Structure 1
Amino acid sequence: MVPSDASFGGTFPFVPHVTGAPGFRMHYVDEGPRDAEVVLCLHGEPSWGYLFRHLIPALSGNCRVVVPDHMGFGKSETPQDRSYWLQDHIDNLERFVLALDLDRITLVMHDFGGPVGMGLAARHPDRIRRVISTNGPTPFGQSDLLDRLVANAGVSPWFQWIAKAEADGSLEAVLGQLGFNILSTLKLNGFENNALITDTWLAAYGAPFACPADCLGAIGWAKGFATGAHRFETPDAAADRAIRARPALAIWGEADRTLLPGHFLPLFIQLFPAAPVRRLAGVGHYCLEDAPDVVAALVADFIRQT
């Protein structure tokens, strides 16, 4: 587990906060006025709140920006006796949001932060004010979700590797050494700006996975897809109507080879047919790394306009 005060050369200078509400030591960033609207930023695999380090200061002047690290990621604890399926992360997030009594929430979701955030929206639509996808899927009971997941898995190098590694028994061994192979894992998922790669950047992304016992979160997310253990939250009719009426924005790096826009943007468009979609040419899966200033400006403008 990364020390709470680790700032990685000042690149992550935010005051650490910790809660035990989800049943483990969960770290989060909480910047900006406490009485302002909440922007809840949800990371994916194998990242953590560091992914949002440029977005936090861009929004925290006018918004309360809250950035939790999921169980088994970043500065949060990695319990050895817990399961790490999608439904577990939704449960954790729900307990976190209720403990902090977060309301008027703008969801900003990346990667599997998408299904985690949409799970929260299904359970508590009254707490959600806006939905923003940044290369993050928005599953919400769509009938073609499984078909899209299967089609994407057939062409995505990351999902192809997951399937092969689970079949030959190497998935846990490889991801259990994520601290050593973090660069190849991140690159397989996809970023286009190789100037990002510095010792500090690698340390920030690799430090949470220092030993196999620290890697259960990363293993669980991948293994859940390979084995079908993840369960997507299905909204009831009232939640479906409520969320469909919320302002929404999709920001998608078109060079994403992990979650291809042709497979996942239709999920967003089905849910929010009138919402703006900003496709970023030459930007990969980690759009918040490849184009942080562009993404921050789009998010800030959307919040201001809605």
Structure 2
Amino acid sequence: MGTHYRSTTVRGHEIHYREAGPADAPALLLLHGFPTSSHMFRDLIPLLAHRYRVIAPDHIGFGRSAAPSAPDFTYSFAELADVTAEFTEQIGLTRFALYIQDYGAPIGLRLALAHPERVTAIVTQNGNAYEEGLGADAWAPVLAYIADPNEKTAAPVREIRSLDGIKWQYTHGVSDQSLLNPDAWHHDAALMARDGQDGIQLSLIGDYGSNIDLYPEFQAYFRASQVPLLAVWGAHDQIFVRDGALAFLRDLPEAEVHLLPAGHFALETHAAQIGALIDDFLTRRHTAPVPSGS
């Protein structure tokens, strides 16, 4: 089943998204992380489109979506979550499962806090919600910038979106790097090098502390809702470490946690295994959705 490449307009900004699968099938919303886009789901979408309506938007500032300059758009996770909620309403998603990774986690979990009745299940692939999931070495420069944003603390943060910095995010923790397609990090690096990205990405990194502040609320949501949750986690990720996956069991005892021999972008090497785990999980535990458009 082919993937469609569509766009819509939310708050005057174009949102690009990929969509595949039957329009009346259970819906799965895929939310990407930094520094990529819906491109990260290129291998996963065809594995799930036979049974699900799969939708993967590019966040504003990423991929092929609009990237207004930082002064012209509030680049915060709260704003991206609000835009994502409006995006789902616009395309007729009333109930859906979430796939969250990296930046997609605080965006998706904010959406779940605001509209818990819409979220039927969560798949988290290195999408963190616990302080113990923050890798100390990887987060040190980010936390330093959050605490005191200035040119000195910004310098190491800027390196994160350089070609070498992005390549490291793909390659660390991967034992056989010949399995990795270098097109992935070159694709991301080219988009990160566009005019305006410095202000966009520094704004979002500077706002990341607001996500950490919300961790207690995310955890309270898990306890209250007991939302079905599947963690498919690259166990060798140094950004969001394996303890972040295991922590979900504290608030969601019925969560299903799979630690994979992969890194931060586990789909690059384990898409087939992750796709099979998601299909099995949603088949057993996905709440039947309200038909689209109702």
TM-score with structure 2 length normalisation?
0.82
Q: Which residue of 2 aligns with 1:31?
A: 20
Q: Which residue of 1 aligns with 2:273?
A: 294
- Report the Cα offset of residue 101 of structure 1: 2.3
Q: Which residue of 2 aligns with 1:3?
A: none
User: CA contact under 8 A between 1:48 and 1:69: conserved in structure 2?
Assistant: yes
CA pair 216-61 structure 1, distance change in 2 beyond 3 A? farther
Moved more, 163-172 or 247-256: 163-172
Q: Which residue of 1 aligns with 2:214?
A: 232
- Report the Cα offset of residue 116 of structure 1: 1.0
CA pair 257-199 structure 1, distance change in 2 beyond 3 A? closer
CA pair 34-216 structure 1, distance change in 2 beyond 3 A? farther
1:285 equivalent to 2:264? Answer yes
| Counterpart code for 1:109 | I
Residue correspondence of structure 1 range 172-187 to structure 2 within 5 A: 175=158, 178=161, 181-187=162-168
Identity %: 27
User: CA contact under 8 A between 2:101 and 2:125: conserved in structure 1?
Assistant: yes
CA pair 252-176 structure 1, distance change in 2 beyond 3 A? closer
Q: Distance in 2 between the 1:255 and 1:240 partners? A: 25
Unaligned runs of 5+ residues in structure 2 are 286-294
User: CA contact under 8 A between 1:28 and 1:67: conserved in structure 2?
Assistant: yes
Q: Distance in 1 between the 2:231 and 2:182 partners? A: 32
Q: Which residue of 2 aligns with 1:5?
A: none
Q: Distance in 2 between the 1:205 and 1:272 partners? A: 34
- Report the Cα offset of residue 301 of structure 1: 1.4
Among candidates 8, 29, 41, match of residue 30 of structure 2: 41
SS at match of 2:196: helix
Q: Distance in 1 between the 2:199 and 2:179 partners? A: 26
CA pair 196-235 structure 1, distance change in 2 beyond 3 A? closer
1:132 equivalent to 2:123? Answer yes
CA pair 216-73 structure 1, distance change in 2 beyond 3 A? farther
SS at match of 2:54: strand
Q: Distance in 1 between the 2:114 and 2:219 partners? A: 9
User: CA contact under 8 A between 1:40 and 1:108: conserved in structure 2?
Assistant: yes
CA pair 100-267 structure 1, distance change in 2 beyond 3 A? farther
CA pair 240-170 structure 1, distance change in 2 beyond 3 A? closer
Residue correspondence of structure 1 range 265-280 to structure 2 within 5 A: 265-280=245-260
- Report the Cα offset of residue 221 of structure 1: 2.7
User: CA contact under 8 A between 2:159 and 2:165: conserved in structure 1?
Assistant: no
Q: Distance in 1 between the 2:54 and 2:111 partners? A: 17
TM-score with structure 1 length normalisation?
0.79
Q: Which residue of 2 aligns with 1:114?
A: 105
Number of paired residues? 275
Give per-residue Cα distances to partners, 1:172-223, cap 9 Å, x unaligned: 7963994xx2342341474515225555334422232232413444333322
1:195 equivalent to 2:178? Answer yes
Q: Which residue of 2 aligns with 1:6?
A: none
CA pair 269-259 structure 1, distance change in 2 beyond 3 A? same
Among candidates 211, 222, 237, match of residue 256 of structure 1: 237
CA pair 293-240 structure 1, distance change in 2 beyond 3 A? closer
User: CA contact under 8 A between 1:123 and 1:235: conserved in structure 2?
Assistant: no
Q: Which residue of 2 aligns with 1:10?
A: none
Q: Which residue of 2 aligns with 1:223?
A: 206
Q: Distance in 2 between the 1:111 and 1:38 partners? A: 21
Q: Which residue of 2 aligns with 1:304?
A: 283
CA pair 277-197 structure 1, distance change in 2 beyond 3 A? closer
Q: Which residue of 2 aligns with 1:104?
A: 95
Q: Distance in 2 between the 1:72 and 1:119 partners? A: 18
Unaligned runs of 5+ residues in structure 1 are 1-12, 140-144
- Report the Cα offset of residue 60 of structure 1: 0.5
Residue correspondence of structure 1 range 204-219 to structure 2 within 5 A: 204-219=187-202
CA pair 173-162 structure 1, distance change in 2 beyond 3 A? closer
| Counterpart code for 2:260 | L
Q: Distance in 1 between the 2:248 and 2:95 partners? A: 21
SS at match of 1:156: helix
User: CA contact under 8 A between 1:176 and 1:211: conserved in structure 2?
Assistant: no
RMSD: 2.8
